Amino acid sequence: MPQPQYDSKKHPHRAAFYKVDDLAGSLCGDVVLVADPDNLDGLKREDLIKIAHWSDMEEADIPRLAVLTDSFFRFIDEGQDASVVTLWRGGTPIIQQIDGEPCEAAVDLVMDAVTGSSELREKWHGLPPLEAEIEKIAYQKGLPSSNRPKWLEREARRRLEARNIDLDEPEEPIASNDNKPDDVRLREMFGAGTMGFDGDTRRHFLSNCWHEGKLGVAVIGPDGKPLFTPYQQQPRPPIKATPFTLRDPASLPPRDWLFGKHYIRRYLTSTVGAGGGGKSSHAISETLAMVTGRPLLDPDGARSAPLRVWYVNAEDPQDEIDRRFHAAAKHFGVTADQIADRLFTDSGRDQGFVIMRQEGRGFQVCQPLIDEMVAEITSRQIDVVIIDPLISTHEVPENDNGAMQRVAKAWTEVADRANCGVEVIHHVVKNSGEATADSARGGGALKDKTRGMRVINAMTGAEAEKVGLEKPDGYFRIDHGKVNLVASGRSAWRHIASVPLGNGKGLLTAGDEIGVVEPWRWPSADALAERAAEARAAVVADVPEELLAGLKVRLENADHKADPKGKPWAGDVVMELAGVTDRKEAKSMLDAWVAMGELKVVELYDATARKPRNFVKPAAAPT
């Protein structure tokens, strides 16, 4: 079946008209031109110009193309006088009500039809002849759905008998004189599928639809009858319910984990994080760990059986992929013999890895790509496929949950049919703060479809300070944001090291330095406590002993509160004796002496507040 084609170079306004005319069919409306596409405020129905053919417009009118939908009472019980305009804008429409009483439901109906979440259909659509005729008469009379008097049925029967329609048989949907649009008839006859439009034949077609157990494409032929052409696939077997048999659980096959309790055979997994946060570099380090069997990211880990991995970067050129892998191999000391023939790398700039494309108003799964990838993965006995990033393998809007679920389902099909694990690298929404599985772009569709999702978060300034780092740059952690098959997970910390390739030429051209992800461990609780103690001791290391002795005398002879907000505060005495002007510094000095056992915090009765308060006193009586 030919795909939709538009001669946009010779007749751009013709191609644009046909696309908007197709949109008008799905919105049960008319193609119109608006006066000013940049300003719809104050627009009225009488200001619109209806056009029936592309010759009624010029190329300069393309931005003015829109669809007018009105008489919403045929769809719902409101909006009889509502008029809604959908400004095309090259495929990114603006929807606005321009006439009638405000009706949010009318705008929502059009919005749902544009996004494909539901179809815009009259109340009588798909009903038996008698019920359909009753609804048509009710619409003409302005009767809401709650009001169906008995005379409606009598009048409907009279009209149907006058047209010689048998009430016991449904209307013939494939008659050549059927006034319904082709796309409506195809949907009624074949159900689900991807609707397209052929600009050359000016006819709709329905691909990926089922008929008599076969998958294929359907079109309304010149004679007005449906023509179905099956794909070269085996007929779909009938659905059957399989009885469950309870047996010894020890006889059940274990889950086929491939690497790190994340990659698993026949499942889709994902790693998500902010742009530039180390996702791709981490995937490359993991890839080398898998193909060599060496625990590159877990120094204490055991060697594992080497895996065969296909890394696909759908954005970067092949030479950049080569630089990254060579830098990682240099950093970890990986040799060509350790990699052998188990690593495959490809760029999306050299081959097409788009698994779902936009076609007209709908989206089409690229089944040939799936079949080719399954064949290649099977032929080379590949265990893991890494797709980086997911967004470059589809053309669907990521806020469309339904479309994103189809993308995830397509990659899951690859994993299942090829008996491998498929990992997709994905972005999170901007300004999401602490990233979780819910932060992944694309709503909940991807999260719900994967069987394991890891989340990358950069180290914060507070975390860097806690572990004694000057800056948090280059450090991040990985958490299991969604664990469907693992009982529990814990954070794994990583650091991005800069590795020189040594590929410069002479003294004038410096070589490339590539970021390589390496393991990094969060210090133990004992190490953190020791570092904190050293830091506290350093705060008062240069304080004379006589100053501390004088402070103890003052605190012993008078009550000074531990809370900086309390009066009098013990830190005020420190500032007076040590000449310190910063209250934070004074508090740090107090905290250090308390931690070192020179001072202590005790609870005493505060006569002023008439309740117990914390006060600072010498740990031992001053001498």
294 vs 478: CA distance, rounded Å? 20
Cross-strand pairs, 518: 495
Q: Is 184 helix (H, G, I), strand (E, B) or coil?
A: helix
User: Strands of 203-211's sheet, edge to edge?
Assistant: 194-198, 203-211, 214-220, 226-230
Per-residue model confidence (pLDDT) at position 6: 40
Per-residue model confidence (pLDDT) at position 342: 96
Per-residue model confidence (pLDDT) at position 331: 96
Per-residue model confidence (pLDDT) at position 569: 93
What phi and psi, each to the nearest 5 degrees, are found at residue 89? 55, 45
Q: For residue 41, give both structure tokens.
A: 């405020």
Q: For residue 111, give both structure tokens.
A: 């919005």
415 — pLDDT class (breaks 50, 70, 90): very high
For the chain, give the number of residues: 623
Reported in sequence order, the residue ranges of 501-610 that DSSP labels E, i.e. its strands, are 513-519, 599-606
Q: Which helix (H) or strand (E) holds 97?
A: strand 94-99
Q: Which domains does the chain have, with CATH numbers?
A: 12-128 (no CATH), 182-230 (no CATH), 257-519 (3.40.50.300), 527-618 (1.10.10)
Q: Does the pLDDT value for residue 17 go beyond 90?
A: no
Q: Is 487 helix (H, G, I), strand (E, B) or coil?
A: coil
Please report, rounded to a whole number, the percentage of residues in the chain having pLDDT higher than 90. 31
5 — pLDDT class (breaks 50, 70, 90): very low
Q: Say if residues 181 and 190 touch (Cβ distance below 8 Å).
A: no
Neighbours of 200 (CB within 10 A): 10
Per-residue model confidence (pLDDT) at position 125: 76
Neighbours of 479 (CB within 10 A): 18
Per-residue model confidence (pLDDT) at position 485: 40
Query: What is the four-CA torsion angle of 431, 436, 441, 443, rounded to 10 degrees?
Result: -120
Per-residue model confidence (pLDDT) at position 158: 82
Residue-wise pLDDT for 471-505, tens only, equals 899 999 998 875 444 433 468 899 999 999 988 87
In whole angstroms, what separates CA 400 from the centre of its chain? 9
| DSSP for 411-456, written as a single string | HHHHHHHHTSEEEEEEEBPTT-SS--GGGBSSTTHHHHH-SEEEEE
Judge if pTM exceeds 0.85: no
Neighbours of 248 (CB within 10 A): 6
Bigger pLDDT: 570 vs 537? 570
Provide the b/e sequence for 553-584 (b: ≥16 CB within 10 Å): ebbeeebbbbeeebeebbbebbbebbeeeeee
Neighbours of 213 (CB within 10 A): 11
User: How would you classify the pairing of strands 309-313 and 343-347?
Assistant: parallel
152 vs 86: CA distance, rounded Å? 35
Neighbours of 180 (CB within 10 A): 14
59 — pLDDT class (breaks 50, 70, 90): confident
User: How would you classify the pairing of strands 452-458 and 268-273?
Assistant: parallel
Residue-wise pLDDT for 44-55, tens only, equals 888 888 887 777
Q: For residue 533, give both structure tokens.
A: 């103690």
Per-residue model confidence (pLDDT) at position 360: 63
Contacts of 270 (CB under 8 A, 6+ apart): 390, 423, 424, 425, 426, 440, 446, 450, 452, 453, 454
Helix axes 318-332, 279-292, angle to 10 degrees: 60
610: phi > 0 → left, psi -120 to 50 → alpha, else beta; which?
left
Per-residue model confidence (pLDDT) at position 173: 40
Contacts of 42 (CB under 8 A, 6+ apart): none
Q: For residue 394, give both structure tokens.
A: 């589809």
Neighbours of 533 (CB within 10 A): 13
Per-residue model confidence (pLDDT) at position 10: 56
147 vs 155: CA distance, rounded Å? 15
453 vs 445: CA distance, rounded Å? 12
HEC string of 195-248 equals EEEECCCCEEEEEEEEECCEEEEEEECCCCCEEEEECCCCCCCCCCCCCCCCCC
Q: Say if residues 294 and 287 touch (Cβ distance below 8 Å).
A: no
Per-residue model confidence (pLDDT) at position 483: 45
Neighbours of 81 (CB within 10 A): 14
Report the chain's C-alpha Rg in angstroms.
35
Cross-strand pairs, 494: 476, 519
Could you give the angle at the alpha carbon of 150 between the alpha carbons of 144 and 152, nearest 5°? 60
User: What's the rounded mean pLDDT across residues 200-217?
Assistant: 69
Residue-wise pLDDT for 421-473, tens only, equals 999 999 887 766 788 877 777 656 777 888 889 999 999 888 888 888 888 99
Per-residue model confidence (pLDDT) at position 290: 95
Q: For residue 19, give both structure tokens.
A: 């696309």
Per-residue model confidence (pLDDT) at position 9: 54
89: phi > 0 → left, psi -120 to 50 → alpha, else beta; which?
left
Which of 398, 417, 382 lies closest to 312 in space, CA to CA?
382
